[in-house]
Amino acid sequence: MDYFHLSAEQDTMEHISALGLAHLGDGVYELMVRAWLCLHGRATNAGLHKAAVKYVAAPAQAKLVHAILPLLTEEELDVYRRGRNSRTAAVPKAASVGEYHAATALESLFGWLYLRGETERLNQLFDVMMEEAAHAF
Protein backbone atom coordinates (compact mmCIF):
# COMPACT_ATOMS: atom_id res chain seq x y z
CA MET A 1 0.00 0.00 0.00
CA ASP A 2 1.16 3.51 -0.82
CA TYR A 3 0.53 5.56 2.32
CA PHE A 4 1.43 8.80 0.57
CA HIS A 5 -1.20 8.47 -2.15
CA LEU A 6 -4.33 7.08 -0.56
CA SER A 7 -7.86 6.81 -1.84
CA ALA A 8 -9.91 5.18 0.92
CA GLU A 9 -13.36 3.85 0.11
CA GLN A 10 -16.41 5.59 1.57
CA ASP A 11 -17.40 2.60 3.73
CA THR A 12 -13.88 2.51 5.19
CA MET A 13 -14.07 6.22 5.95
CA GLU A 14 -17.38 5.79 7.81
CA HIS A 15 -15.75 3.44 10.33
CA ILE A 16 -13.09 5.93 11.40
CA SER A 17 -14.01 8.09 14.37
CA ALA A 18 -13.65 11.87 14.28
CA LEU A 19 -10.86 11.58 16.83
CA GLY A 20 -9.15 8.95 14.68
CA LEU A 21 -9.29 11.37 11.76
CA ALA A 22 -7.98 14.14 14.02
CA HIS A 23 -5.08 11.95 15.16
CA LEU A 24 -4.05 11.42 11.55
CA GLY A 25 -4.82 15.00 10.54
CA ASP A 26 -2.61 16.33 13.33
CA GLY A 27 0.35 14.58 11.70
CA VAL A 28 -0.63 15.70 8.20
CA TYR A 29 -0.99 19.32 9.28
CA GLU A 30 2.27 19.31 11.22
CA LEU A 31 4.14 17.80 8.27
CA MET A 32 2.73 20.49 6.00
CA VAL A 33 3.75 23.22 8.45
CA ARG A 34 7.27 21.80 8.76
CA ALA A 35 7.63 21.61 4.97
CA TRP A 36 6.28 25.16 4.63
CA LEU A 37 8.76 26.47 7.22
CA CYS A 38 11.70 24.79 5.49
CA LEU A 39 10.67 25.88 2.00
CA HIS A 40 10.05 29.47 3.06
CA GLY A 41 13.20 29.83 5.14
CA ARG A 42 11.15 30.88 8.14
CA ALA A 43 13.42 29.35 10.75
CA THR A 44 16.91 28.09 11.35
CA ASN A 45 17.62 24.54 12.45
CA ALA A 46 17.62 25.61 16.07
CA GLY A 47 14.33 27.42 15.75
CA LEU A 48 12.35 25.01 13.55
CA HIS A 49 10.59 23.26 16.40
CA LYS A 50 9.68 26.53 18.11
CA ALA A 51 8.44 27.97 14.81
CA ALA A 52 6.37 24.86 14.05
CA VAL A 53 4.74 24.94 17.48
CA LYS A 54 3.64 28.52 16.78
CA TYR A 55 1.50 27.22 13.89
CA VAL A 56 0.38 23.82 15.17
CA ALA A 57 -0.74 24.81 18.67
CA ALA A 58 -4.52 24.72 19.14
CA PRO A 59 -4.94 28.51 19.51
CA ALA A 60 -3.13 29.11 16.20
CA GLN A 61 -5.12 26.42 14.40
CA ALA A 62 -8.36 27.86 15.79
CA LYS A 63 -7.43 31.32 14.52
CA LEU A 64 -6.35 30.13 11.07
CA VAL A 65 -9.24 27.74 10.43
CA HIS A 66 -11.64 30.67 10.16
CA ALA A 67 -9.98 31.63 6.89
CA ILE A 68 -11.06 28.37 5.24
CA LEU A 69 -14.53 27.84 6.72
CA PRO A 70 -16.30 29.85 3.96
CA LEU A 71 -14.50 27.72 1.35
CA LEU A 72 -15.56 24.32 2.64
CA THR A 73 -18.06 22.15 0.80
CA GLU A 74 -21.09 20.77 2.66
CA GLU A 75 -19.37 17.39 2.98
CA GLU A 76 -16.21 19.02 4.35
CA LEU A 77 -18.29 21.09 6.77
CA ASP A 78 -19.95 17.89 8.00
CA VAL A 79 -16.53 16.39 8.74
CA TYR A 80 -15.44 19.63 10.41
CA ARG A 81 -18.56 19.71 12.62
CA ARG A 82 -18.15 16.03 13.49
CA GLY A 83 -14.60 16.76 14.67
CA ARG A 84 -15.61 19.90 16.53
CA ASN A 85 -18.39 18.09 18.37
CA SER A 86 -16.35 15.03 19.33
CA ARG A 87 -15.83 14.41 23.02
CA THR A 88 -12.21 14.90 24.04
CA ALA A 89 -10.71 13.71 27.31
CA ALA A 90 -8.71 16.84 28.16
CA VAL A 91 -7.89 20.31 26.89
CA PRO A 92 -4.29 21.61 26.93
CA LYS A 93 -3.60 24.42 29.41
CA ALA A 94 -2.59 26.81 26.62
CA ALA A 95 -5.95 26.53 24.81
CA SER A 96 -9.56 27.32 25.58
CA VAL A 97 -12.19 24.62 25.11
CA GLY A 98 -13.42 26.41 21.98
CA GLU A 99 -9.93 26.66 20.51
CA TYR A 100 -9.26 23.01 21.21
CA HIS A 101 -12.51 21.91 19.56
CA ALA A 102 -11.80 24.09 16.50
CA ALA A 103 -8.29 22.61 16.24
CA THR A 104 -9.65 19.07 16.57
CA ALA A 105 -12.19 19.87 13.85
CA LEU A 106 -9.46 21.15 11.52
CA GLU A 107 -7.33 18.08 12.18
CA SER A 108 -10.33 15.81 11.50
CA LEU A 109 -10.85 17.54 8.16
CA PHE A 110 -7.18 17.23 7.22
CA GLY A 111 -7.14 13.54 8.19
CA TRP A 112 -10.29 12.93 6.16
CA LEU A 113 -8.94 14.71 3.08
CA TYR A 114 -5.63 12.86 3.36
CA LEU A 115 -7.28 9.43 3.57
CA ARG A 116 -9.42 10.28 0.55
CA GLY A 117 -6.29 11.20 -1.42
CA GLU A 118 -7.41 14.79 -1.86
CA THR A 119 -3.93 16.29 -1.65
CA GLU A 120 -4.74 19.10 -4.07
CA ARG A 121 -7.59 20.22 -1.80
CA LEU A 122 -5.34 19.90 1.27
CA ASN A 123 -2.78 22.14 -0.39
CA GLN A 124 -5.43 24.65 -1.44
CA LEU A 125 -6.84 24.97 2.10
CA PHE A 126 -3.38 25.00 3.68
CA ASP A 127 -2.24 27.80 1.35
CA VAL A 128 -5.22 29.93 2.41
CA MET A 129 -4.37 29.30 6.06
CA MET A 130 -0.73 30.28 5.54
CA GLU A 131 -1.84 33.46 3.77
CA GLU A 132 -3.88 34.23 6.88
CA ALA A 133 -0.89 33.39 9.08
CA ALA A 134 1.17 36.05 7.31
CA HIS A 135 -1.29 38.64 8.68
CA ALA A 136 -2.04 36.99 12.03
CA PHE A 137 1.47 36.24 13.33
Residue pLDDT, tens place only, 22-61: 999 999 999 999 999 999 887 677 788 888 989 999 999 9
Q: Which CATH number characterizes residue 68's domain? A: 1.10.1520.10
Question: Is there a domain that residue 95 lies in?
Answer: yes
- Per the domain annotation, does 15 fall within a domain? no
Its domain, for residue 114, covers 20-136
Tens digit of each residue's pLDDT (9 = 90 or more) over 91-101: 778 889 999 99
With respect to residue 38, please indicate whether it lies within any of the assigned structural domains. Answer: yes
61 in a structural domain:
yes
Q: Closest by alpha carbon to 56, among 90, 104, 21, 18?
A: 104
The predicted model gives 3-20 an average pLDDT of 91
Per-residue pLDDT, 136: 77
Domain assignment of residue 12, yes or no = no
Q: Cβ atoms within 10 A of the Cβ of 109, count?
A: 31
Whether residue 66 lies inside any domain: the answer is yes
Residues whose CB falls within 8 Å of the CB of residue 31, separated by 6 or more in sequence, listed in order? none
Q: What is the dihedral of CA 55, 94, 45, 24, to 10 degrees?
A: -60
Catalytic residues: 26
**pLDDT tens across 102-120, in order?**
999 999 999 999 999 999 9
Classify residue 121: in a domain, yes or no. Answer: yes
**Count of domains in the chain?**
1
Query: Does residue 131 belong to any structural domain of this protein?
Result: yes
